[in-house]
Structure 1
């Protein structure tokens, strides 16, 4: 984060639902508070963002998906005091509805929900993405006829070793592992790990040790714990834990759609955002990292928390509340991991928060 007393946060939102696009905000490190600096709607529905650096100049850049039927990715310069500045034109991803993107070496990878595919694009010297070098479509379906009629890739994430990219597919109840061709960047299927049918895996997060993965499910409020072998590029599921009280008993409340999972830098806690329940769950982890225990749930500060992000210091947790149109921040108790509401700002149709 730049500056002496304040850093920067970037907030994505759905322009088709009244959002402002990409919003830049100053971050007060002492209080966690955000102050809006400016926004740009130069890209339609930039629902997910990622911060990177231009390979040649080293300048910080901001990547955004355009979650539209003719999906694309865009890059913004962040060197000004206000809204990020669009660099060039958005680059097509050859897929429908990209919901997530991540940097993997000198390539950008997107998860395309609508078409159930992942796309790899090279990154140029100034940070701009080039034409796609590979599009890999998943195959299969799941038992939910409305949500799992076909593949729906929802997240892509490189593993900490840098040797693999993992893709989470809600439609096929699976996590795929790919290797990127070192020359072309083309994604090569390596392995596929099945989750419990009908759970609808949405996002995953790594334990800081790099040896465990936590897969959060959208269609059932549970987390699957997996061992991760970075040498072999293989996931091994070892257990499942509920993230909502009474969820194991079926419950009588509204249906819950978990959205995001975050693991503490010291590996002692993990948090999930839960749409429908409008909450943040706190789970504790022991030294094995394999037995999360649900410790508490707290309100998310709004409605329909689509994203949850830990700031670089690990002291503040931010929830992007899509339907109430705000971003809330919470002070994380270092002993219990329980977040305490500390404030919020208005951001219509907020969908994600990242830090620069």
Structure 2
């Protein structure tokens, strides 16, 4: 019999409070069906659009995607997340993403086109002052979306040696580390196709291939990743959709099967999940087809820790929808949804 996602597991949902969202929401995850049951929410931080857990799961870090951006830490041991301390300003506009890296939390600041590093204290909470900011430079050919840099994601590579930032405005991916003072330091920048608008990146489980989802061209760029050198090399590009979109379509998220057999992407406007199969090395994704995302405007796509359930955060229709993933084909089958206004992110923890 197939096992579920583990008894006592939880999901944390970020949302846009300025669009009616509940802030940071905690939900119980049914171990068999993947169904979510909302337990409680905290709206003290404006627009906590992206979340990440501490190593032990006791703290949840959230950006505040505001003009005066900030990052906050919540305690996870109650039925609703509770602020551990006042939010810390990141001295940048519109942080959209964050990651833990080398005893710091780093934020990708879309509005300012920068990366901010905030040290962690001994108990895992955030220091009151950032340790540094890396300002991205450049632009792209899109007349409205690429007039300057727009850092959209920052993620730690599987080796733990590097942090990688994806910039939609400059059509590039930057590889960084921290200097002796904890400030982000540029190691190398990789250019992608002009006008593609790279948004997010996910690694193959073997750690040598990375997949970049491009928002503006609704495409996927396959890259080889060298963790020893901190080098990203583009190999090929694939369309997210089997045909030209009927209207506006924006790629939003990419996730990879923990066994390395499948890859899924979400596309807003078309409101679909695309399924790709992967070859043994992960270098050649093959588009199999698409399924409806279960709502409108899938901003986020998240895979359960077991890989057996897939979730969409359907921002404009206001629900999290979950799917069973067929183990042999990778096809998502919709099982249910829970109403939650303006959701933007789902992450999983065990407390």
Which residue matches 1:278?
Answer: 271
Shift of residue 4 of structure 1?
6.7
2:345 pairs with one of 339, 342, 352: 352
Shift of residue 252 of structure 1?
5.5
Q: Is the 8 A contact 2:245 2:270 kept in 1?
A: no
Q: Aligned equivalents of 2:208 and 2:269: distance in 1?
A: 31
Q: Aligned equivalents of 1:216 and 1:9: distance in 2?
A: 24
After the TM superposition, list the runs of 4 or more consecutive aligned residues in structure 1 that deviate by more than 4 angstroms: none
Gaps of 5+ in 1: none
Write out aligned runs for 1:1-356 (5 A): 5-53=7-55, 60-80=58-78, 82-130=79-127, 131-181=129-179, 183-246=180-243, 251=244, 253-356=246-349
Shift of residue 59 of structure 1?
6.1
Matched residue of 1:30: which SS?
Answer: coil
Shift of residue 52 of structure 1?
0.7
Alignment root-mean-square deviation, CA: 1.1
Q: Aligned equivalents of 2:268 and 2:8: distance in 1?
A: 30
Q: Aligned equivalents of 1:4 and 1:244: distance in 2?
A: 33
Instruction: Give CA deviations for 1:243-294 in whole Å, capped at 9, x if unaligned.
Output: 1111xxxx25012101110000011111001100101000010013111110
Shift of residue 6 of structure 1?
3.1
Equivalent pairs counted in the alignment come to: 344
Q: Is the 8 A contact 2:6 2:31 kept in 1?
A: no
Q: Aligned equivalents of 1:297 and 1:115: distance in 2?
A: 34
Shift of residue 105 of structure 1?
2.4
Q: Quickly say closer, same or farther: Cα 1:197–1:4, change in 2 above 3 A.
A: closer
Q: What is the TM-score normalised by the length of structure 1?
A: 0.95
Q: Quickly say closer, same or farther: Cα 1:59–1:302, change in 2 above 3 A.
A: closer
Q: Aligned equivalents of 1:214 and 1:115: distance in 2?
A: 25
Q: Quickly say closer, same or farther: Cα 1:252–1:49, change in 2 above 3 A.
A: closer
Shift of residue 68 of structure 1?
0.1
Instruction: Give CA deviations for 1:10-48 in whole Å, capped at 9, x if unaligned.
Output: 000000000000010000010100000010101000000
Q: Is the 8 A contact 2:71 2:90 kept in 1?
A: yes
